[in-house]
Amino acid sequence: MEPLNAPIASMAGDTQDEHWMRRALDLALRAQQQDDEVPVAAILLGADQQLLAEGSNRNISEHDPSAHAEIVAMRRGGQLLQNHRLIGTTLYVTLEPCAMCVMAMVHARIARLVFAASDPKTGAAGSVFDLIGSDRHNHRIEVTGGVLAAPASTMLTEYFRAKRRAARPPPV
């Protein structure tokens, strides 16, 4: 297992998806260490496959329930492009998006979603719900899940384990 206190190092033979997911994992770790945020991050590539924007969870530090990593990255991308449509873009996320984020991606016209760990509680790209795959939407998003799922899942598990330990009262 890779140590989580250091950047998730690139490895020879990484695919493009693994390259960008490693960058997202590094960003998630930074959000956890610097802002005590839940370690989730997103990387948005433009239609040209170049970095357009990135974001990490900000909902705790900004007191904003909508400031999930995906929303932060899409907002920054939209501001940069001066457009609410993010046509042809790819969004890399370290955790399967929730329903709010999936619907924002549909409205933004994201072309492709790549996520690491599945979310067994609120995942809306196939785990709990398959909201992203609904044929009722007027836009389809290509989905690839499980890219570097193990380090993403470990990072989240360790974060929540530490939070639960810290919340326990000291032994008497």
The residues annotated with a catalytic role in the active site are 70
Q: Helix 16-35 vs helix 149-167: angle between axes, to the nearest 10 degrees?
A: 10
Q: Which tokens sit at 110?
A: 């994201």
Report the distance separating Cα 37 and Cα 31, nearest Å.
Answer: 6
Instruction: List the one residue out of 159, 170, 163, 136 whose CA is nearest residue 5.
Output: 159
> Residue 7 burial (CB < 10 Å; 0-12/13-18/19+)?
middle
The backbone torsions φ and ψ at residue 13, rounded to the nearest 5 degrees and listed phi first, read 85, 5
* Amino acid of residue 129: F
